[in-house]
Structure 1
Amino acid sequence: MMNKITQLFNIQYPVIQAGMIWASGYKLASAVSNAGGLGIIGAGSMYPDVLREHIRKCKKATDKPFAVNVPMLYPNIEVIITIIVEEGVKIVFTSAGNPKTWTAFLKEKGITVVHVVSSVKFALKAQDAGVDAVVAEGFEAGGHNGREETTTFTLIPMVKEKLTVPLIAAGGIATGRGMLAAMVLGADGVQIGSRFLASVESSSHEKFKQMVVELQDGDTHLTLKELAPVRLIKNKFFHDVVALYATSPTPDALKALLGRARAKKGMFEGDLEEGELEIGQIAGLINDIKPAGDILRDIIADFEIAKREALELL
């Protein structure tokens, strides 16, 4: 399946596994890459020495391309970038920050750079910064999200109209049919998070994975916009947030409730009541936990079936 994205990353399928905190270590990244997609190590939940270890283990687990995702709002960013360069990582996805900060530096080192955005405005800023591709992520996505609340189906064609670099769609995509829909709207590839979180190789806690499988539509909500918008499962912590909002809290009060390491407590340690549980709206369509390679092959098979069915409509 040759197109701009497969050529840019030298991969078989235009499917990228999102760099998710507490989910996407080297096991998941290498499994997706070995199956023909682009696996991503999520640096957001890793101390620098842990990131270096995962990069080295990923190199041993696959001879295919893989990437590292770097949320630029996290501390130790300079150290993380240094490790990426020292370890010879060839592809970097940046997010949650100004793409001008690191794009030129990384490209000077021969690294392909992709930036994640949630609006046309920031897609253009990323393109002007010199990125090689843009991920446009809709409101449906899990984890930290954009403030605009623009859905994927409206965001992708609006970004496509303005952009000249390759475009990757994200947010609410977990099947081949969703992949086809995104590409019909103008995307050159797709980035998928929630579906790969519910995989054998995901480093998230098994109790969290099982909870994802059991979710229905309406079980997630975007909140904490005063800090950094995040889509959460409606557990006890979420309802504590809702109760606090009823008091018209200050950002400091929200920060105090959030505390430290709450996402780790929920997603990695399995505290389903007090943890911050991040997942996308598409979780209502995820019904099982299976190997990442099987997930990718299912997506591609579904894509081919949907493509044939779409041709019958013409």
Structure 2
Amino acid sequence: MTNKITELFKIKYPVIQGGMIWVSGYKLAAAVSNAGGLGLIGAGSMYPEVLREHIQKCKKATSKPFGVNVPMLYPDIEKIIEIIVEEGVKIVFTSAGNPKTYTSFLKEKGITVVHVVSSVKFALKSEAAGVDAVVCEGFEAGGHNGREETTTFTLIPMVKEQLKIPVIAAGGVGTGRGMLAAMVLGADAVQIGSRFAATEESSAHSNFKKTIIDVKDGDTQLTLKELAPVRLVKNNFYNQIQELYQQNPTLEEIKDLLGRARAKKGMFEGDLDNGELEIGQVAGLIHKIKPAKEVLDEIVAEFNTVKALIASI
């Protein structure tokens, strides 16, 4: 499966694991990279020195390429970038910010840069900023999302039509069939988050992993658009948000309800009532917690089987 993305990252399969907060530690990143994909450490939920520790452990756990996902809206961003350079990380995915901010600096250090976008407009801005590829994340995705609510399978062909650099599809992809569909529409690779969140190597709490495999269609909703759109499982905290919206709240009132560390409380500590549980719509297709290698192998096998089946029609 050689294409622009496998050559860019020096990986076997065009499958990238999402750099999810509180979920994507070095164990998951190393497992995915060892299996032939590209593993990402999620820096968004790590203090700088914790990130350094994860990078160092990942380098010991795999000889394969891996990267770091950096949401630019988080504090300590300058220190995080400094550590990435110091530790010799070769691949960085940036998100939730202006791609111009660090792209030139990182590329001068010999780092491959990918930026996450949710619209054609920001995809074009990212290409102009000099990134090597873009991740186009649709409305189906878990975690922070675009306000436009454009679906992945609408977004991919529109971006592909406009850009010359490689396009990675994210949001709603968790199977080989989904991967093939995304690539038929123009994607050069897929980025998968939710399916890897429910793996043995994921650092998510066991309560959250069980919730993922219990989620059905309609059990998640995109909300908190006034702050940063996020897709949440409908739990007690989600219900509190909806009740607050009935009161036409101010931005400060929404921030007060969100408080601090809601995502940590839910996904990392396992508080299923009061925590923020971020997951994508594709969770309805996840039925079992498995090793990351097994998940990746199944995705690739299904991709190849369905591709061959379609070719024979």
**TM-score normalised by structure 1 residue count:** 0.99
The answer on 1:220 being equivalent to 2:215 is no
1:1-314 equivalence runs, <5 A: 1-313=1-313
| C-alpha distance in structure 2 between counterparts of 1:311 and 1:64, whole Å | 32
Deviation of the 1:312 alpha carbon: 2.8
In structure 2, give the amino acid aligned to 1:179.
Answer: M
State the shift of 1:309 in Å: 1.6
- 2-side partners of 1:51 and 1:133: how far apart? 24
Equivalent position SS for 1:221? strand
Secondary structure (helix, strand or coil) at the match of 1:73 reads coil
- TM-fit CA distance, 1:204: 0.3
Shift of 1:310: 1.3
State the distance in 2 between where 1:43 and 1:243 align: 32
**1:37-76 superposed Cα distances (whole Å, 9 cap, x missing partner):** 0000000000000000000000000000000000000000
**How far apart, in 2, do the equivalents of 1:310 and 1:273 lie?**
44
User: What do residues 243-272 of structure 1 show as CA deviations (whole Å, max 9, x unaligned)?
Assistant: 000000011100000000000000000000
Q: Distance in 2 between matches of 1:46 and 1:197?
A: 17
For 2:82, give the aligned amino acid. Answer: T
SS in 2 for 1:172: coil
Q: How many residues align?
A: 313
**TM-score w.r.t. structure 2 length?**
1.00
Partner SS, residue 100 of structure 2: helix
| Local SS of the residue matching 1:231 | strand
Q: Which amino acid aligns with 1:33?
A: S
The one-letter code of the counterpart of 1:120 is: V
Letter in 1 for 2:182: A
What amino acid is the match of 1:295? V
CA distance in 2, matches of 1:308, 1:2: 17
User: Root-mean-square deviation (CA), in Å?
Assistant: 0.4
Q: Give the SS at the match of 1:67.
A: strand
**Gapped runs of 5+ residues in structure 2?**
none
Query: 1:92-126 deviations in whole A, cap 9, x for unaligned?
Result: 00000000000000000000000000000000000
State the 1:311 CA deviation.
1.3
Q: Distance in 1 between matches of 2:195 and 2:2?
A: 23
CA distance in 1, matches of 2:311, 2:107: 40
Q: What is the alpha-carbon distance in structure 2 between the residues aligned to residue 267 and residue 108 of structure 1? A: 36
In the alignment, the residues of structure 2 paired with residue 261 and residue 211 of structure 1 have an alpha-carbon distance, to the nearest angstrom, of: 19
- The CA deviation string for residues 188-214 of structure 1, in whole angstroms up to 9 with x for no partner, is 000000000000000000010001001
Letter in 2 for 1:273: D
Unmatched 5+ stretches in structure 1: none
* Runs of 4+ with deviation above 2 angstroms: none
